[in-house]
Structure 1
Amino acid sequence: MAPPRAYWKGSLKLSLVSCPVALYPASTSVEKTRFHMINTETGNRLKQQMVDEGTGEVVEKDQKGRGYEVRKGKYVEIEKDELEAVQIESTHTIEIDSFVPAEEIDKRYLNNPYYIAPEGKAGIDAFAVIRDAMKDKDRVALARIVLSNREHVIAIEPLGKGLLATTLRYPYELREPDDYFDGIKSPKISKDMVELAGHILDTKAAHFDPSKFKDDYETALKALVKRKAAGKSIKVAEPEEKSDNVVSLMDALKQSLEGKKSGKSAPRRAPAARGRGRSAKKAHRSSARARKAS
């Protein structure tokens, strides 16, 4: 198996101590089911083109540029060399600025995770010293890195033999919670209700285990694609009718707790396919593909 390809290479620097490292994305979407846009009449894949908003004409590659909208419909063009002039100098260095307690990092700031590993044998001692010092002090490093011409703040922490780096959002990228929470009323909730809810929480107590995460929608998508590719029919499920029964909050809590105690739980259903069949149109598409194949 070929070694993974590094997303970024450079140096990890702590004061006068530095070592060569490589950055690898810690997450992937390769296994997710993806769809392409196709012509439903011919079955051919579609290609996207850039079109001038004013003239409607297709724009060639050498005519494309970057522009910032200063007012409605008015753009100032930014040249490539002008962008390069403002690039940050720390392009190939992860500069550690400080160490903070992990519990102080607001989870809303966490963005994309990466693995940091030593690059080659040179500097592996320095890498291990920085990693183990963070383990001993139970601290997370805050550093700066340039990715895709943008400077990011990253949180670095030990993970096994390597390091886990997570890019952090800037404050201007977060929305204020008050805009969403200020309108929430504060009803009077009885102590009995809270205690009942607490008992339900106890029945669902567990430990964090991502191996138990099941993507039911992805499983259903794969099954759908497999059946279609095999030429099998797809049965579109009818939408469920919503119950009009009104149950008081206290009754709902009691019934939930009783159901958990007896070991009963509502069965999980795979996501239903949406939409209605269009048999006539599908038949027309199939005949078009058949003509193409012949």
Structure 2
Amino acid sequence: MHTMWKGSISFGLVNIPIKLHTATQDKDIKLRTLHKKCHSPVKYEKVCSVCNEELKPEEIVKAYEYTKGKYVVLEEDELEKLRKENEDKAVEIIDFVKMDEIDPIFYNRSYYMSPNEGGGKAYSLLRKALKESQKVGIAKIVIRAKEQLALVRVYENTLVMETIHFPDEVRSVADVPSVPGEDKVTEKELDTAIMLIDQLTTEFEPEKYTDEYRTALLELIESKRTGQEVVTSKEKEPVTNVTDLMEALQASIDRTKPETPKKATATKEPVKRKRTTTKKKKEA
């Protein structure tokens, strides 16, 4: 597994040399952009909007636009020095909190943590302490020139660093348009909705959820590549035009009800008649 960051993490006086490894991977299918006429890849060149000249890498600088059309230019050596000063610092766990106090909206990306040379025992200590206390550690780390807030937790016997958003990076819910202020629902509607939730409640099994679009796209690409006929996927059940809330809830419940096994009375009856006939024959 590729190491994307090396450093150390500490809590109190305990220092743990660690390595970070990306825990998740993006499996989106990347499509190239081609010229329709000749099917050649399209280039995206860096061109100055005023001079209309194609620029070389050494002609490009980074800057911050503090007001429309006005910039503060930042030299690469200044940025590199700033990055170096922050990246060289050990990651310190600032606080310990209960995980359920952190809303999932703050979560960003997950990294597996492995102990670097000489860090095995301290790694095990932190892992066991987090398990026993049922807490997670809150820390700060600089990754790819950006300071990240992070939490350290245990996942399947491995320490995981979960980068999380700073509070000012999460937009205020007050800015979300058209959110109703009051719950204008009836008791019956609420009971029916809860019944539907109970009916669809199950244990979380991540393996049963798949990316159907990606699978279908790969099948389409493969069929075109091999020259086979493209087959259409099974059509979904048509959505009924239900406008009433109660009708929609009831229709959902009816569609998700588990099938009840057929009663055995239909098969038992002929057997009963057969036995009666046999008895009459014996009396005769």
TM-score if structure 2 supplies the norm length?
0.82
Between 1:150-159 and 1:255-264, the stretch displaced more is: 255-264
The alignment status of 1:40 with 2:36, answered yes or no, reads yes
Between 1:228-237 and 1:69-78, the stretch displaced more is: 228-237
What corresponds to 1:260 in structure 2?
Answer: 256
- The one of 143, 146, 155 aligned to 1:147: 143
Deviation at 1:212, TM superposition (A): 0.9
Distance 1:105 1:262, change over 3 A: closer
Preserved contact between residue 83 and residue 145 of structure 2 (Cα < 8 Å): yes
- Match of 1:157, SS? strand
What corresponds to 2:25 in structure 1?
Answer: 28
What corresponds to 2:211 in structure 1?
Answer: 215
Deviation at 1:233, TM superposition (A): 5.3
C-alpha separation in 1, matches of 2:241 and 2:168: 45
What corresponds to 1:191 in structure 2?
Answer: 187
Deviation at 1:262, TM superposition (A): 5.7
What corresponds to 1:226 in structure 2?
Answer: 222
Distance 1:260 1:233, change over 3 A: closer
The percent identity for this pair of structures is 29
Q: Deviations over 1:245-277 (max 9, x none)?
A: 45422222222223333649xxxxxxxxxxxxx
The alignment status of 1:11 with 2:8, answered yes or no, reads yes
Deviation at 1:183, TM superposition (A): 4.2
Distance 1:39 1:108, change over 3 A: same
Letter in 2 for 1:115: Y
Q: How many residues align?
A: 257
C-alpha separation in 1, matches of 2:67 and 2:184: 49
Preserved contact between residue 36 and residue 45 of structure 1 (Cα < 8 Å): yes
Letter in 2 for 1:155: L
C-alpha separation in 1, matches of 2:230 and 2:53: 41
C-alpha separation in 1, matches of 2:207 and 2:239: 34
Query: Equivalent residues in 2 for 1:81-92 (5 A)?
Result: 81-87=77-83, 89-92=85-88
**Please, what is the CA RMSD of the aligned residues?**
2.5
- The one of 49, 54, 58 aligned to 2:45: 49
Q: Deviations over 1:104-163 (max 9, x none)?
A: 11221111110001123x121111111111111111001111111222111001123320
**Structure number with higher relative contact order (C-alpha < 8 Å, ≥ 6 residues apart):** 1
C-alpha separation in 1, matches of 2:179 and 2:211: 33
Distance 1:22 1:195, change over 3 A: same
What corresponds to 1:279 in structure 2?
Answer: none
What corresponds to 2:282 in structure 1?
Answer: none
Query: Equivalent residues in 2 for 1:152-167 (5 A)?
Result: 152-167=148-163
Preserved contact between residue 242 and residue 248 of structure 2 (Cα < 8 Å): no
What corresponds to 1:98 in structure 2?
Answer: 95
Deviation at 1:221, TM superposition (A): 0.6
TM-score if structure 1 supplies the norm length?
0.79
Distance 1:243 1:5, change over 3 A: closer
Between 1:224-233 and 1:161-170, the stretch displaced more is: 224-233
Preserved contact between residue 6 and residue 22 of structure 1 (Cα < 8 Å): yes
The alignment status of 1:60 with 2:56, answered yes or no, reads yes
Task: Give the helix-richer structure, 1 or 2.
Answer: 2
Query: Equivalent residues in 2 for 1:66-77 (5 A)?
Result: 66-77=62-73
- The one of 86, 108, 113 aligned to 1:111: 108
- Match of 1:86, SS? helix
Q: Gapped runs of 5+ residues in structure 1?
A: 265-294
Distance 1:21 1:82, change over 3 A: same
Letter in 1 for 2:159: L
Quick check: which has more Rg, 1 or 2?
Answer: 2
Preserved contact between residue 94 and residue 138 of structure 2 (Cα < 8 Å): yes
- Match of 1:146, SS? strand
Deviation at 1:103, TM superposition (A): 1.2
Deviation at 1:101, TM superposition (A): 1.0
What corresponds to 1:278 in structure 2?
Answer: none
Deviation at 1:71, TM superposition (A): 2.4
C-alpha separation in 2, matches of 1:110 and 1:6: 21
Letter in 1 for 2:15: S
Q: Gapped runs of 5+ residues in structure 2?
A: 261-284
